[in-house]
Chain A
Amino acid sequence: MSGLAEKLDGKRVVIVAGSGGVGKTTASAALALGMAAAGRRVAVVTIDPARRLADSLGLEELGNEPRRVDPELLAGHGVEMRGELWAMMLDPKATFDDLIVKLSPDAGTREDVLGNRIYAQLSSAIAGSQEFSAVAKLYDISREERFDVVVLDTPPSRNALDFLDAPDRLTDFFEGRALKLFLVPTGIAARVMGKGTSVVFALLKRLTGVDLLDDVAQLFRALGGLIDGFRERATAVKALLADAGTTFFIVTSPEREPVAEAIFFHGKLREARMRFGGLIVNRAAIADPALGTPAAVRDELRAELGGALAGKVAASVADLQLLAARDAASIEHLKAALGEPEPIVVPRLDGDVQDIDGLLALYRHLSA
């Protein structure tokens, strides 16, 4: 069993995190493909796959549900599927609406929430609900018996905290006084809740204006009908994220910012007592000892290519060596910071890696 297979053995949920632009989606798909090829029934949930990867996997016609990737398609590329690969692209708004529908105790509550002006405007217009939606979808799919394992490609990890905190924030919110404040009538009940609260309420009105506060209050009152459902759901999601069958993979490129992000996220995982499964360092420049030093290259090629062209070739070699040295230092830094002696290092692949061939190249590298 390879090191990676060992890390994934027995896992039911694999969450892939990392900065934007490090190849997280392709890595998620490659991990999923590897497990599916080895015989498991895998669903991969991606947020925003590259167009051509989506197209080549047949994802473009997709709704908000997993769809099976045609095994013939992969067989055509020489990958034998012993299990099943399913993939889907997350639609945050549809997922959130679904959640409201599922948790509403009755049709009236459902319509009150979905039809609320604030809900309608804010839930679709503003980013940030991606994390809630991703977690909600992950939970739903993880409960489906037709899949052995779910791989989730997360939103960029600038929002990683939102992602980890999503269930907690919901629970806090529903158990907190904020909601109760909107659920009780004013007057006597408000006085019972304490003077501080009514002062806060009055100040809020002054800050936001009456219209906005009324709409927000209406939304919260409608959401009040979903409290029990939300609370149960949040507890279950939190348990799922912390479960022994759930593991987090961190993907990074060797550049400074994504590396800092990876270390930051790893720390947050540890604080939240969630399981770090492994590190993938993507697009690393690897020193090639066969190349020799730039000076040796220039001397060697001068006779055949002339001094000017030999000098240009030597300059290319010098650039590569600088990059390789930088990347090697990055990888050492990551190893130490994450306490991960054996990260999976993927060399920078030539050509466009954002299509199925790129996916397969990465898959082969990961499963080697």
Chain B
Amino acid sequence: MVTGKGGVGKTTVAAALGLVAARAGKRTIVAEVARRGDVASAFDREGAAPFSETEIAPGLFHISVDPQDALDEYLRDQLPSAAIAELLIRSRVFGMIAAATPGMRELLTVGKLWELAQLDRRTPGADSYDLVVVDAPATGHGVAILSAPRTFAAAAGSGPVARQGTIIDEMLSDPARTAVVAVAQAEELAVTETGQLREALEKTMGLPLERVIANALEPDRFTAADARRLEAHAAHPAVARALSVHARALRQRAQLARLRRLTGDVDPARLSLHPGAPDLERLADELAPQLA
């Protein structure tokens, strides 16, 4: 589960993680949640059917999870005949109840993620994956998605929804099977939110934060001695510019230290700022050795 504050580059990092895994020989799928195919477009696969499992690079698949599709699949799987399932799927009454029940979309989404991760897939004819990388919603909503099955199981009391909710929750709260990765930028708000995510995960799911990836870092281009020499020439516009970049790099360094403190004194993996379009191959090159 890859989450993080909005705007930190979560989708790009999730795709790069998927690429790292696929290169290592794992059959991997990157699943986007409540999106419209951003990962596919990062791989320049716009126009590909986003709501089905599509191979976007060797060994790397993509799907955008749609709660409505997930519901239809679930009904076909659960009901004794296709005709009865179709009856419910087409029933406006049923659709409205599903749409109006708070949290239902989160539950359906996470149910599909669970299904993708099964060795014995419930989707007829589908192969299993070694790894499912979820491009999850931003921090707060990310935890809500993870805890949806638990909440529903508690609300349902007994019966099939309670039983299935519990099974899904067992997978999601098992650190051997589920890892939560936070993407952050080295700035105050994103760092604060990452710390809060760690606490919320522990409290809600009993899960540790597996790894933090600090994205879009300014290169450590100038040493302190460089900076001192540049100060003397600050009137030059290019030097002034370089000094302001250096000041930003220093602020980022301070925030990285804070990030480390707030996340259990583990060094975050680092990705540097790449001006221009995101290049997943390069990001994967940068990420792979840090995750080994």
Contact = CB atoms under 8 A, between A and B. Distances in A.
Nearest to B78: A207
Interface residues of A, number: 75
A35 interface: no
A99 interface: no
Contact of A292 (B96, B147, B238): B238
Nearest to A178: B96
A260 B7 CA distance: 13
B117 interface: no
A352 interface: yes
Nearest to B37: A260
Which among B239, B242, B273 has the greatest number of chain A C-beta atoms within 10 A?
B242
B159 interface: yes
Interface in A292-340: 292, 297, 300-301, 304-305, 309, 312-317, 319-320, 322-323, 326
Which among A52, A211, A313, A315 has the greatest number of chain B C-beta atoms within 10 A?
A313
Contacts of A7: none
A176 B99 CA distance: 12
A20 B5 contact: yes
A121 B93 contact: no
Interface in B95-119: 96-97, 99-103, 105-106
A129 B102 contact: yes
A316 to B, nearest CB: 4
A203 B84 contact: yes
A134 interface: no
Contact of A304 (B97, B100, B233, B244): B233
A125 B140 CA distance: 11
Overall SS of chain A's interface: helix
B57 to A, nearest CB: 19
Nearest to A173: B100
A153 to B, nearest CB: 13
A312 B233 CA distance: 14
Contacts of B140: 48, 127
B179 interface: no
A320 B178 CA distance: 39
Contacts of A126: 102-103, 106, 144, 148, 151
A20 B88 contact: no
Given A125-B151, A211-B159, A313 B88 contact: no
A106 B41 CA distance: 53
A268 to B, nearest CB: 12
The 5 A-B residue pairs with the shortest CB-CB distance, nearest first, are: A209-B159, A20-B6, A21-B7, A126-B103, A322-B275
15 contacts: A21-B8, A122-B102, A127-B144, A128-B105, A177-B93, A178-B97, A200-B93, A203-B79, A208-B161, A209-B156, A212-B161, A212-B162, A260-B41, A312-B222, A316-B221
Given A178-B100, A326-B277, A350-B244, 8 more contacts: A50-B188, A203-B87, A256-B277, A301-B236, A312-B222, A316-B245, A326-B275, A352-B251
